[in-house]
Structures are given as C-alpha cells and as structure tokens.
C-alpha cells in the first residue's frame, strides 16, 4: 500500500511558505523576516479567535463547543511551535557566537 504525503498544517505558516514560493527570496533575510512576521501575526489571530470563543462559551452564547475546543487547541499548538522555533533560533545563534574565526 503506497504511503500518501503528509499535508501541511493549515493556518500555522503563511501560504506562500507552505507552497514554496516564499521560502527562498534572497540572501538579505527579508523572506525569512516576512515569513516569521506572518507566522506571529497568524498566532495572534488564532489566540484572538480562541479568546473570543472562550468568552462566548463562558457567557453561554456559544452554540458549538467543538469550535471553541478546536480553536483553543490550534492556538496552543501554534504557540508551542513558535516557542520551539524561537528556542532553536537562540540555540543556533549561541552556537554561531561560540565559533572561533
């Protein structure tokens, strides 16, 4: 039985990064900066949506608890991913700074 490829997680990274069109744009770092900015903006949007649905759930205005649960989980996982990326970036920076010229 053939193994199908894993589909990218929608909503975590900007669409141009997932499709590969924005992954390499030059050596000045602007592509990486715009991708990182887009990911942080997306995280803020996910957290805002999660917060709005949580408030609706607490006040009794929410009709479907599954949407609130999914939004909360999506925001939490995305935050954990961003923290991991940040930690790996700091580790890489520290390793570069330890190198001798």
Question: Helix 65-98 vs helix 30-59: angle between axes, to the nearest 10 degrees?
Answer: 150
Who has greater pLDDT, 39 or 14?
A: 39
H helix runs in the chain, sequence order: 15-19, 30-59, 65-98
Q: Which of 7, 79, 18, 21 is nearest to 45 (CA)?
A: 79
Name the token pair of 13: 């990274």
User: Can you give the pTM of this predicted structure?
Assistant: 0.64
pLDDT digits (tens, 9 = 90+) for 32-67: 889 889 999 999 999 999 999 999 989 988 888 898
Q: How confident is the model at residue 21 (pLDDT cuts 50, 70, 90)?
A: low
Which residue matches tokens 């949407």? 67
pLDDT at 29: 77
Average pLDDT, the chain: 82
| Long-range contact set of residues 50-56: C-beta below 8 Å, sequence gap at least 24 | 50/74, 50/75
């Amino acid at each position: 039985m053939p193994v199908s490829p894993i589909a990218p997680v929608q909503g975590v990274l900007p669409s141009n990064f997932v499709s590969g069109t924005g992954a390499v744009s030059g050596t000045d770092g602007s592509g990486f900066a715009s991708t990182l900015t887009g990911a942080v903006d997306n995280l803020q949007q996910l957290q805002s949506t999660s917060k709005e649905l949580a408030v609706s759930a607490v006040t009794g205005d929410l009709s479907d608890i599954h949407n609130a649960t999914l939004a909360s989980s999506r925001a939490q996982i995305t935050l954990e991913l961003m923290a991991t990326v940040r930690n790996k970036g700091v580790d890489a920076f520290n390793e570069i700074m330890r190198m001798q010229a």
